[in-house]
């Protein structure tokens, strides 16, 4: 293993314990209405939230609620297709494209996440789309939604760029969807209904503790489908996790490791996980949708102050995917 991938992996492998829960930290809800007119004010608010607990929610983001509801409904239909249909679109390891079930083993827990997922990475989808007969409208719904997510992610990254003293479009150029080297990903997630007999089993996780590999994550959740918890890296030792309240109208955002490197740690990536339900909570299946803004493969991630050695986004992601068995 080379030195550049040690930091994140070592950090992650220490995070498997159950820990405790605290509501003392605030996950801020930030309105991004009138984005252009309010750019400076929004940039200040995002920066403060990102450098504080590293997780924040944006509201008034401009994606109509019926579009969000529609993509969740479509994802739900996809996950309910017969296994023989979904099996035709297997995740090709290291590509962030295709369908997998219970295959992601987190370095923190050493056990497979109790979920299935379908990932869309624009240039890598040959043979991975269900036909219109199998699921009408799926492809266009997913493509449209990914493009909307990209736009919001680039707006938010534009704020961070300016605060870091870079050109506003610095990250937009690095996440170019028109290039074959594009590797941002939309991931539809489906966490299985939880078997009652497993309540209280602390070895099972819907998603084990991790930091994201990307620059910025946008996460869509459903009202009432809780379980996501965050822990700022600086407070790792305390093992006190804060629940994130899910809501249909908000996008939960977090900084990933790529942007942490790129900002010489000014923007910290933070641990999060999805814990299983507890006694008295809903055992139903849980859905979420994540957009991972990941710089194009050929982009060189160079930290201006030289805290980290330069490496390409391709090299970086390959290491992290391998460590997760995906
Ligand atoms: O489903 C969630 O709420 C979180 C998912 C997540 O953290 C991830 O896929 O990286
Ligand atoms: Fe994550």
Residue pLDDT, tens place only, 104-153: 787 888 877 789 999 999 999 999 999 999 999 999 999 999 999 999 99
Secondary structure E strands in 161-316: 185-191, 207-210, 216-220, 228-231, 240-243, 251-255, 271-274, 286-293, 300-301, 311-312
pLDDT > 70? residue 174: yes
Ligand 1: nearest atom to the Cα of 246: 3
Distance from the alpha carbon of residue 118 to the mean position of ligand 2, in angstroms: 15
Cα–ligand 1 centroid distance for 293 (angstroms): 14
Task: Indicate whether 5 pLDDT > 60.
Answer: no
Of all protein residues, the one whose alpha carbon is nearest to atom 9 of ligand 1 is: 290
What is the interface pTM, i.e. ipTM, of the complex?
Answer: 0.98
Domain count, the chain: 1
| Per-residue confidence (pLDDT) for residue 9, from 0 to 100 | 66
Please tell me which residue, 198 or 160, carries the higher pLDDT value. Answer: 160
216-252 per-position pLDDT tens digit: 999 999 999 999 999 987 788 888 999 999 999 999 9
Q: What Å distances lie between residue 89 and 120, 126, 208, CA to CA?
A: 11, 9, 25
Query: Could you tell me the pTM of the whole model?
Result: 0.95
Give the mean pLDDT of 22-36.
93
Q: How many C-beta atoms surround the C-beta of residue 154 within 10 A?
A: 21
Ligand 1 binding pocket, CB closer than 6 Å: 189, 207, 212, 219, 221, 228, 272, 274, 288, 290
| CA separation for the pair 236, 231 (Å, rounded) | 7
Q: Which atom of ligand 1 is nearest to the CA of 290?
A: 9
Which secondary structure element, helix H or strand E, spans residue 56, and what is its range? Answer: strand 55-59
Mean pLDDT along residues 196-219? 90
Contact 30, 56 (CB under 8 A): yes
In DSSP notation, 10-55 reads HHHHT--S--EE---S--EEEE-TTTTTTHHHHHHHHHHHHHHTSE
Question: Looking at the CA of 219, which ligand is closest?
Answer: 1
**How far is it between the farthest Cα atoms of the chain?**
54
User: What confidence score (pLDDT) does residue 235 get?
Assistant: 85
Nearest ligand 1 atom to the CA of 244 is 3
> What separation in Å is there between the alpha carbon of 13 and the centre of ligand 2?
15
Q: How confident is the model at residue 4 (pLDDT cuts 50, 70, 90)?
A: very low
Distance (angstroms) between ligand 1 centre and the Cα of 124 equals 22
Q: Which H/E stretch holds residue 58?
A: strand 55-59
C-beta pairs of 40-49 under 8 Å, 24+ apart in sequence: 42/159, 43/159, 43/160, 43/162, 43/163, 44/163, 46/156, 46/159, 46/160, 46/163, 47/159, 47/160, 47/163
Q: What is the pLDDT of residues 80-91, one digit of tens each?
A: 999 999 999 999
CATH code for the domain in which residue 225 is found: 2.60.120.330
Weakest mean pLDDT among 34-43, 115-124, 206-215: 206-215
Residue 225 burial (CB count, 10 A): 18
Going from the Cα of 272 to the center of ligand 2, the distance in angstroms, rounded, reads: 6
* Pocket mutation for ligand 1, best pick of 149, 207, 326 (most atoms within 8 Å of C-beta): 207
DSSP 70: H
Q: What is the pLDDT of residue 102?
A: 79
Substitution candidate for ligand 1 out of 272, 277, 285, 320 with most atoms within 8 A of CB = 272
The domain of 175 spans 3-323
Instruction: State the chain's mean pLDDT as an integer.
Output: 92
In the reported structure, the alpha carbon of residue 268 is separated from the centroid of ligand 2 by a whole-number distance in angstroms of: 14
């Amino acid at each position: 293993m080379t030195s550049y991938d040690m930091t994140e992996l070592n950090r992650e492998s220490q995070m498997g314990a159950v820990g405790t829960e605290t509501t003392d930290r605030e996950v801020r809800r930030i309105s991004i209405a009138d984005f252009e007119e309010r750019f400076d004010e929004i940039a200040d608010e995002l920066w403060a939230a990102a450098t504080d607990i590293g997780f924040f929610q944006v509201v008034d983001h401009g994606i109509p609620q019926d579009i969000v509801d529609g993509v969740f409904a479509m994802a739900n239909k996809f996950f309910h297709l017969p296994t023989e249909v979904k099996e035709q679109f297997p995740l090709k390891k290291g590509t962030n494209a295709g369908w997998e079930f219970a295959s992601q083993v987190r370095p923190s827990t050493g056990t497979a996440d109790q979920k299935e997922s379908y990932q869309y990475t624009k240039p890598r989808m040959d043979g991975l789309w269900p036909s219109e007969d199998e699921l009408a409208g799926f492809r266009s719904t997913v493509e449209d939604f990914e493009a909307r997510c990209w736009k919001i992610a680039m707006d938010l990254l534009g704020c961070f760029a300016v605060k870091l003293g870079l050109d506003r479009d610095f990250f937009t150029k690095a996440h170019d969807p028109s290039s074959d080297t594009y590797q941002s990903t939309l991931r539809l997630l489906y966490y299985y209904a939880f078997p009652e007999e497993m309540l209280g089993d602390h070895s099972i996780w819907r998603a084990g503790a991790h930091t994201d590999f990307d620059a910025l994550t946008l996460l869509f959740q459903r009202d009432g489908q809780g379980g996501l918890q965050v822990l700022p890296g600086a407070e790792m030792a305390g093992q006190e996790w804060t629940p994130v309240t899910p809501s249909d109208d908000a996008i939960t955002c977090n900084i990933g490791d790529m942007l942490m490197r790129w900002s010489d740690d000014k923007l910290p990536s933070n641990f999060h996980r999805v814990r299983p339900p507890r006694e008295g909570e809903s055992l139903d299946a849980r859905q979420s949708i994540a957009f991972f803004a990941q710089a194009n493969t050929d982009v060189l991630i160079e930290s201006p102050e030289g805290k980290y050695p330069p490496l390409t986004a391709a090299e970086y992601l390959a290491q992290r995917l391998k460590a997760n068995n995906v």
